[in-house]
Amino acid sequence: MSKVDRILDKYSARVYKNRKLHIIEKTEDNHEISANTRTIPGIMTNRGCCYAGCKGVVLGPIKDVAIITHGPIGCGFYSWGTRRNKARGDKHTKNFVEYCFSTDMQEPDIVFGGEKKLKQAIKEVVEIFDPDAIMICATCPVGLIGDDIHAVAAEAEKLYNRKVVAFSCEGYKGVSQSGGHHIANNGLMRHIIGTGDRVPTKYSINILGEYNIGGDAWEVERILKRIGYDIVVNIPGDSSIHEIENAHIAHLNLVQCHRSINYVADMLKDKYGTSWLKVNFIGVSSTVKSLRDIARYFNDPELTARTEEVIAEELAAIHDEMEYYKSKLKGKTAALFVGGSRSHHYQKLLKDFGVETIMAGYEFAHRDDYEGREVLPFIKEDADSKNIESLRIEKDERRYRLYLSEEQYEKLRKEIPLDYYEGMIKDMEKGTIIIDDMNHFETEEIIRILKPDIFFSGIKDKYVIQKAGILSRQLHSYDYSGPYAGFNGAVNFGRDVLMGLTTPAWGLVKAPWKNSPMIEGHLQEVV
């Protein structure tokens, strides 16, 4: 039986038929996988909701905006401080990242409407915190009872003379948090980006889709600034609303997490002509490649020389530690299951240490994140994806400008991933397993069948994995460690993984196959 059939073996015919489309073994160069579809009811998915993707993920890290969760308190509480997106305020920029603002809807508000309570919450936020901007994020009941949060926002904007933007990101929209990313991207583009008046400098860039979990963005910014780039804004990690207003002026957008921010990247291209480059600052070799790709775009001998100088210095500084961790980790195997981009990025970092990936999957990625953007025209829309608005973007005739000539652009596109993402699968070895929207049952089957040395995942399955005797490191929260990005982050990661593998705690727990035979079957007598 193939590995995939062994994972699917215990399912009923109907569940088997569905899940078989989401689990593949890589055998050829390209593979089709089913993704971004509804989870089978009753199955324990790791996915989150639309509100989590909008408020929790994309908007949450913007530090000087007060984001009011309009809904029952549980939703606000869920998105309060759990995601480890770090931010620093200073005397010019407020920092509300550690706060949780909510209207705390109760039954009477559901029955009689919650707009009054929302208006009161905005008033209190203005009086107590005086933020430069306010965002309102709706949770499920708000959409069900029909509160007009956009009208409330428009009225408050006039009344308090500051930006107030509402997001209809009710949890039930779409099939996962992915719909919430799209709604947040639309709101940023429609109301915020393009309203600033900063002037670009020689090497102005944006980073898109870096969330500063455990301080990742700070490490990426440290390296880029050493080279001499002017970072207009990193959306959204540790960003301020006024930086985001100027995102349209950059000469190039660097896209770290394609899944969550590709909409803004595409819209900036359509409206202002700015190209985006797929980068990956997770892993030493990936970071080096990304830095070289950026330098190729600007094509300036001085910048290229400085890039090489910084790379050489950074590599020399981490060389001994990287070699030490590599000597200890080489030959281990890993399974990765994260949201919509890290399962690809972290395979590169693991490779730097000689760790082989045998299984990787995503909670809510779309087919382009797995197979590459060339499949975009072939993705079929369904009722759930049609539910999320796609903005129609018009060219901004006044501010539209191309940094490269058409000829330069076409030539460079063949060499670096300009406005293109190749997806995860092409980068994986033959014989590896790819799973979309993996559930808890399948997690246990992967442990039983593939026996990875390390299982990188999140809080929902961490302890199931560890109780099975396998190290689990959280690739969402970094288990309260980090940064893991860039050069210094790679060393932190090597240290943490080795620490996890060698902890004496493993003496107290045994993997199931260490207690029972590894081969099951019947002995046949040969006569």
Give residues in contact with ligand CFM (CB under 6 A): 53, 57, 83, 177, 211, 213, 257, 259-260, 338-342, 476
Look up 140 and say whether it is catalytic: no
DSSP string, 271-336: HH--EEEE---SSHHHHHHHHHHHHHHHT-HHHHHHHHHHHHHHHHHHHHHHHHHHHHHTT-EEEE
Select from ligand HCA, ligand CFM, none the partner in contact with residue 340, using the beta carbon and a kind-dependent cut-off of 5 to 8 Å. Answer: ligand CFM
CB of 440 to ligand HCA, least distance (A): 12
The torsion angle over the Cα atoms of residues 200, 203, 208 and 210, rounded to 10 degrees, is -120
CB of 36 to ligand CFM, least distance (A): 13
CB of 236 to ligand CFM, least distance (A): 9
Select from ligand CFM, ligand HCA, none the partner in contact with residue 460, using the beta carbon and a kind-dependent cut-off of 5 to 8 Å. Answer: ligand HCA
Instruction: Assess contact for 180 and 169: CB atoms under 8 A.
Output: yes
- Distance CA(317)–CA(91), nearest Å, equals 34
Of 162-170, 245-253, 291-299, 469-477, the window that binds ligand HCA (rule: CB under 6 A) is: 469-477
Q: How many C-beta neighbours within 10 Å does residue 452 have? A: 22
Given the residues 35, 50, 52, 54, select the one marked as catalytic: 52
- Distance CA(7)–CA(20), nearest Å, equals 10
Q: How many C-beta neighbours within 10 Å does residue 319 have? A: 11
**What character string, x for contact with ligand HCA (CB under 6 A) and - otherwise, covers 153-182?**
------------------------x-----
- The reply to whether 251 sits near ligand HCA by the rule CB under 6 A is no
Look up 181 and say whether it is catalytic: yes
CB of 474 to ligand HCA, least distance (A): 6
Select from ligand CFM, ligand HCA, none the partner in contact with residue 267, using the beta carbon and a kind-dependent cut-off of 5 to 8 Å. Answer: none
Look up 83 and say whether it is catalytic: yes
Given the residues 19, 83, 248, 473, select the one marked as catalytic: 83
Instruction: Assess contact for 25 and 431: CB atoms under 8 A.
Output: yes
- The reply to whether 459 sits near ligand HCA by the rule CB under 6 A is yes
- Distance CA(49)–CA(212), nearest Å, equals 21
- Distance CA(20)–CA(168), nearest Å, equals 34
**Tokens matching residue 207:** 């980073």
**Contact positions with ligand HCA (CB under 6 A) in 60-99:** 82-83
Given the residues 35, 47, 49, 257, select the one marked as catalytic: 49
Q: Helix, strand, coil proportions of the chain in percent (round to 5)?
A: 45, 15, 40
- Distance CA(383)–CA(277), nearest Å, equals 31
- The reply to whether 342 sits near ligand HCA by the rule CB under 6 A is no
Would you call 503 exposed, middle or buried from its count of C-beta atoms within 10 A (0-12, 13-18, 19+)? exposed
- Distance CA(429)–CA(27), nearest Å, equals 8
Given the residues 181, 182, 258, 345, select the one marked as catalytic: 181
Choice between 250 and 261, CB closer to ligand CFM: 261
Label the pairing between strands 433-436 and 23-25. Answer: antiparallel
Look up 52 and say whether it is catalytic: yes
Of 370-378, 440-448, 454-462, 481-489, the window that binds ligand HCA (rule: CB under 6 A) is: 454-462
- Distance CA(440)–CA(232), nearest Å, equals 41
Select from ligand HCA, ligand CFM, none the partner in contact with residue 259, using the beta carbon and a kind-dependent cut-off of 5 to 8 Å. Answer: ligand CFM
Choice between 114 and 339, CB closer to ligand HCA: 339
Q: How many C-beta neighbours within 10 Å does residue 526 have? A: 4
CB of 194 to ligand CFM, least distance (A): 23
Select from ligand CFM, ligand HCA, none the partner in contact with residue 372, using the beta carbon and a kind-dependent cut-off of 5 to 8 Å. Answer: none
Of 33-41, 127-135, 273-281, 473-481, the window that binds ligand HCA (rule: CB under 6 A) is: 473-481
- Distance CA(190)–CA(11), nearest Å, equals 45
Choice between 57 and 137, CB closer to ligand CFM: 57
Report in angstroms the alpha-carbon separations of 273 from 185, 257, 278, 297, 496. 17, 20, 16, 15, 42
**What character string, x for contact with ligand HCA (CB under 6 A) and - otherwise, covers 21-60?**
---------------------------x---x---x----
Active-site residue set: 49, 52, 83, 181
What is the binding site for ligand HCA (CB under 6 A)? 48, 52, 56, 82-83, 177, 339, 458-460, 474, 476-477
